Structure 1
Amino acid sequence: MTDSPAHPAHWPAPLAHGAVDATVTVPGSKSVTNRGLVLAALAAEPGWLRRPLRSRDTLLMAEALRAMGVGIEEGIGPDGSGEAWRIIPAGLHGPATVDVGNAGTVMRFLPPVAALADGPIRFDGDPRSYERPLHGVINGLRALGARIDDDGRGALPLTVHGGGALDGGPVSIDASSSSQFVSSLLLSAPRFNQGVEVRHTGSTLPSLPHILMTVDMLRAAGAQVDTPESGGEPNVWRIAPSALLGRDLTVEPDLSNAQPFLAAALITGGRVTVPDWPERTTQPGDALREIFTTMGGSCELTAQGLVFTGTGRIHGIDVDLGDVGELTPGIAAVAALADSESVLRGVAHLRLHETDRLAALTKEINALGGDVTETADGLRIRPRPLHGGVFHTYHDHRMATAGAIIGLAVDGVRIENVGTTAKTLPDFTDMWTGMLGPVPEAAPARRV
């Protein structure tokens, strides 16, 4: 990213000058938007996606599907209620090249779609994408009859030689490093000739709520899914071949992206309202209600949305985040400001995310005076007085928001490449400063 007035190379994270009191409208869920795009592209009829997230990851997904022949029209919904995308399924075809950026959903959800296309589909992306695991998807697709050239890397870049159809059937994969391996095969499975039976063979399965999200969305699109939660065999998901319905889907707010704003209420002893927080959801971000309450806040689900209130005191926490690993950077940032030690467990798989998040959090918080140590599967955080400095992001959007959280309470924190938040939250800096409001006149000027 290049330096610009809007996003300087080192963005000064604003210091909170009092209790936050704001309503923050969070854009749509990336996870729901990208799953919705895939299911709509594979449907038997056109569908609508209302209030989609427009961010780097979702635009990469839309462009990839367009490259394979899917029609995606961006505009206003038929009732004039706001932005909506019209998805028009078509015969999937190559040759085409897909840029995955560093989006796990794009690099993992689309190779099975490409196997259904007629012709070769090449996948490439950012340098970091070459280091992220894809073996579960590649090996699984090969076992189901797909032809894939990856030069034995088990990673990008690769080419899927689509034959217009895929046999499908039973397949065993190890999804210990990413639940997206399971979701990727399930999303396209209704279009496989025999459907699919996915058996997870690993010892752990991170981010289970994201698999539940995939299953819920498949069922809503008309798929028949047998899961462990519905009385099926443990770690086995079965989907019968069927046509998918074209849906009119409204995307929920991205609850994980609400995290920094809720953290602001917790840290400043203020109040933040997030409109349209769903009463029932499979989004991992919903766990913030319990986690941040344990750390010293309180919340209430009202007609206006989720109202979260802090007391200004932050307590340490001992918590297993295996199902909600994406929340770890924000929780670690809050824990660094707490009044007691925190232990974050169950997140060894974060070493394979946009960056090695455990190493990155340890290095960056400690560079500000913190005391963070890595454990086998997480972090141990002992609060210490922190000081200003540059907080590096490693092209990871959640590292950028973690740095901004710390900057609320620590003067002089500067976020390197805050623009990486465009991956899932393009307007983050404007939303952040808008939440904080104008700086009181009596406050001293910041020196950067």
Structure 2
Amino acid sequence: MAISKIAQPQFSPYGDDQPVPDDTPGAWPAPAASGPLSASLQLPGSKSLTNRELVLAALADGPSLLRAPLHSRDSALMIQALRTLGTRIDEVEGSGAFGPDLLVTPGELTGGGYIDCGLAGTVMRFLPPVAALALGPVAFDGDEGARRRPMRTVIDALRALGVDVNDDGRGALPFSLYGTGSVEGGELSIDASASSQFVSGLLLVAPRFTRGLALRHTGEKLPSLPHIEMTIATLAARGVVVENPEPGVWVVPPAVIRSRDVDLEPDLSNAAPFLAAAVVAGGTVSIQGWPVETTQVGAHLARLLPLFGATVTVDGTTLTVDGGAGIVGGATFPGVDIDLSMGGELAPPLVALAALASSPSRITGIGHLRGHETDRLAALAAEINALGGSVTELDDGLEITPRPLHGGLWHSYEDHRMATAGALLGLAVEGVFVDDIGTTAKTLPQFPELWAGPLLGISRPSVNPLELL
């Protein structure tokens, strides 16, 4: 599958009653809720788990089968990158509803290629340490937005480990490295304040370093700790025990990464806008296949959404959110004051909900979102304010003062979570248009179809951005 910028659908999937703004032909009209929901959905596999398992399978001692993996732009970029480095990855028939399983057969890591990171943080932060184990040069670049994402920590870490890296002093994409076939490892200190992916990328590859790795985080804050815990758990399942003797210190011994067959969990962070839709529209939304135990940060939705007036229940492996009458039906909930440092990726839908609350909210612990696909704090503030809201940036978060909202163009900034936040607000605010719904293909290509069909019961088919890759 060729990887390219997602094309923008040039038609309205919801009829012709909402004219597309003249300045953005092809903008997606976010459908308003016509009544309470009664929806039950399945979602594709976790992006975070899929890309971690792809890396570990490529470094393992034999073939691994990944069942029900995510098929999206981010995972396709990871697959293409690993193939470039010498890994064989075959699509095989599986039982998943969203695409084939993946059979990953490790090979000798080879350089001499180019890796397109797109806008995928997991590719640009996880693959350079892998490429350092290859023999020969490897070049890295990505979308224009990727060149603005923090990468200096990765580049400096590789240099400290003795890897030859050429970035012309940018500390960012594009850059190249020359792998010698091995990395000595040993002790390493980094500042991972901008992203937990800096830690995870090194931990995933550290068992293959000659001396393993003793990694220390030197910054004051470390965002998204659950993602590091996820990395440690995936390593443990493959026989690598990571010690954490004190906060911010991880010790990985040189070890064999065992092959294994893996069943991928659905992406719980991608569940956020669907579950939050029950709060806005009212009624119930259920997600099937909700894991009993998980390291995904989306699991925190079970305790966060009740703060917005919802009731959450779990029956076996089905999680259900009941929004009662919902905001559309006249229900109200007070503002919230929450620290989201454990999972900033949940911020966009929760900020959207806060904009519909009855009193002000403060959502903090998310300063690192300025370095995500876009500056999400600035983007959320700009887009909600453009619809009549009042959002103020803080050093480490946002302050949201609810005001009546009106329709208008919602910019996605090539950020999948910005696009879905616009769709969520559109349930309660008529006339919201998302300029590029295709950007959801980064982690959930089926978003327009799932939003229209299983969630809202709109029968007219929507666009599947995956078909536009």
Give the TM interval when normalised to the shorter protein.
over 0.9
Q: Name the counterpart of 1:333.
A: 352
**Residues 1:129 and 1:75: Cα distance change in structure 2 (over 3 Å):** same
TM-score of the aligned structures, taking structure 1 as reference length: 0.95
Q: Name the counterpart of 1:424.
A: 443
Question: Does residue 193 of structure 1 match 2:210?
Answer: yes
The 5 Å alignment of 1:179-258 reads 179-227=196-244, 232-258=245-271
Q: Name the counterpart of 1:157.
A: 174
Q: Name the counterpart of 2:111.
A: 94
C-alpha separation between the residues in 2 aligned to 1:75 and 1:34? 18
Superimposed CA distance per residue, residues 344-379 of structure 1 (whole angstroms, 9 cap, x where no aligned partner): 001111111100000000000000000111111110
**Secondary structure of 1:290 counterpart:** helix
Structure 1 window deviating more from structure 2 (350-359 vs 74-83): it is 74-83
Deviation at 1:3?
Answer: 3.7
| Amino acid corresponding to residue 128 of structure 1 in structure 2 | G
**Residues 1:324 and 1:79: Cα distance change in structure 2 (over 3 Å):** closer
| Amino acid corresponding to residue 62 of structure 1 in structure 2 | I
**Residues 1:191 and 1:356: Cα distance change in structure 2 (over 3 Å):** same
C-alpha separation between the residues in 2 aligned to 1:5 and 1:153? 38
**Residues 1:249 and 1:299: Cα distance change in structure 2 (over 3 Å):** same
Work out whether residues 172 and 198 of structure 1, in 8 Å CA contact, stay in contact via their aligned partners in 2.
Answer: yes
Could you list the runs of 5+ residues in structure 1 that have no partner in the other structure?
Answer: 440-448
C-alpha separation between the residues in 2 aligned to 1:80 and 1:350? 32
The 5 Å alignment of 1:334-353 reads 334-353=353-372
Superimposed CA distance per residue, residues 28-57 of structure 1 (whole angstroms, 9 cap, x where no aligned partner): 100000000000000011101110000000
**Secondary structure of 2:246 counterpart:** coil
| Amino acid corresponding to residue 113 of structure 1 in structure 2 | V
TM-score of the aligned structures, taking structure 2 as reference length: 0.91
**Secondary structure of 1:154 counterpart:** coil
Question: Does residue 436 of structure 1 match 2:456?
Answer: yes
Work out whether residues 44 and 98 of structure 2, in 8 Å CA contact, stay in contact via their aligned partners in 1.
Answer: no
**Secondary structure of 1:338 counterpart:** coil
Deviation at 1:224?
Answer: 2.1
Work out whether residues 71 and 98 of structure 2, in 8 Å CA contact, stay in contact via their aligned partners in 1.
Answer: no
Q: Name the counterpart of 2:192.
A: 175
Question: Does residue 12 of structure 1 match 2:29?
Answer: yes
Work out whether residues 348 and 421 of structure 2, in 8 Å CA contact, stay in contact via their aligned partners in 1.
Answer: yes
Question: Does residue 376 of structure 1 match 2:395?
Answer: yes
| Amino acid corresponding to residue 50 of structure 1 in structure 2 | R
Work out whether residues 142 and 173 of structure 2, in 8 Å CA contact, stay in contact via their aligned partners in 1.
Answer: yes
C-alpha separation between the residues in 2 aligned to 1:96 and 1:408? 45
C-alpha separation between the residues in 2 aligned to 1:109 and 1:426? 22
C-alpha separation between the residues in 2 aligned to 1:233 and 1:323? 18
Deviation at 1:127?
Answer: 0.8
Q: Name the counterpart of 1:393.
A: 412
Superimposed CA distance per residue, residues 228-263 of structure 1 (whole angstroms, 9 cap, x where no aligned partner): xxxx12210000001111110111010000011101
**Residues 1:9 and 1:420: Cα distance change in structure 2 (over 3 Å):** same
C-alpha separation between the residues in 2 aligned to 1:438 and 1:164? 54
Deviation at 1:323?
Answer: 1.2
Candidates 296, 299, 314, aligned match of 2:309: 296
Question: Does residue 270 of structure 1 match 2:283?
Answer: yes
C-alpha separation between the residues in 1 aligned to 2:87 and 2:298? 30
Work out whether residues 9 and 438 of structure 2, in 8 Å CA contact, stay in contact via their aligned partners in 1.
Answer: no
**Secondary structure of 1:153 counterpart:** coil
Candidates 124, 127, 138, aligned match of 2:155: 138
C-alpha separation between the residues in 1 aligned to 2:317 and 2:36? 20
**Residues 1:78 and 1:304: Cα distance change in structure 2 (over 3 Å):** closer
Work out whether residues 189 and 240 of structure 1, in 8 Å CA contact, stay in contact via their aligned partners in 2.
Answer: yes
Q: Name the counterpart of 1:56.
A: 73
Work out whether residues 50 and 82 of structure 1, in 8 Å CA contact, stay in contact via their aligned partners in 2.
Answer: no
Superimposed CA distance per residue, residues 409-431 of structure 1 (whole angstroms, 9 cap, x where no aligned partner): 00000000110000001011110
**Residues 1:151 and 1:50: Cα distance change in structure 2 (over 3 Å):** same
C-alpha separation between the residues in 1 aligned to 2:307 and 2:394? 22
Deviation at 1:304?
Answer: 5.2
**Secondary structure of 1:409 counterpart:** coil
Deviation at 1:82?
Answer: 7.2
Work out whether residues 10 and 27 of structure 2, in 8 Å CA contact, stay in contact via their aligned partners in 1.
Answer: no
**Residues 1:135 and 1:80: Cα distance change in structure 2 (over 3 Å):** closer
Q: Name the counterpart of 1:446.
A: none
Structure 1 window deviating more from structure 2 (132-141 vs 167-176): it is 132-141
- What is the percent sequence identity of the aligned residues? 54
Work out whether residues 264 and 270 of structure 1, in 8 Å CA contact, stay in contact via their aligned partners in 2.
Answer: no
Q: Name the counterpart of 1:443.
A: none
Deviation at 1:303?
Answer: 2.7
Deviation at 1:279?
Answer: 1.3
C-alpha separation between the residues in 1 aligned to 2:98 and 2:425? 37
User: Which 4+ runs in 1 deviate beyond 2 A?
Assistant: 1-9, 77-83
| Amino acid corresponding to residue 286 of structure 1 in structure 2 | A
Q: Say how many residue pairs are matched.
A: 435
**Secondary structure of 1:322 counterpart:** coil
Question: Does residue 280 of structure 1 match 2:293?
Answer: yes
Q: Name the counterpart of 2:124.
A: 107
Superimposed CA distance per residue, residues 187-243 of structure 1 (whole angstroms, 9 cap, x where no aligned partner): 00000000001100000000100000000000101112101xxxx122100000011
- CA RMSD, Structure 1 to Structure 2 (Å): 1.6
Superimposed CA distance per residue, residues 79-131 of structure 1 (whole angstroms, 9 cap, x where no aligned partner): 99973100000000010100000100000000000000011110010011111
Structure 1 window deviating more from structure 2 (1-10 vs 200-209): it is 1-10
C-alpha separation between the residues in 2 aligned to 1:70 and 1:131? 29
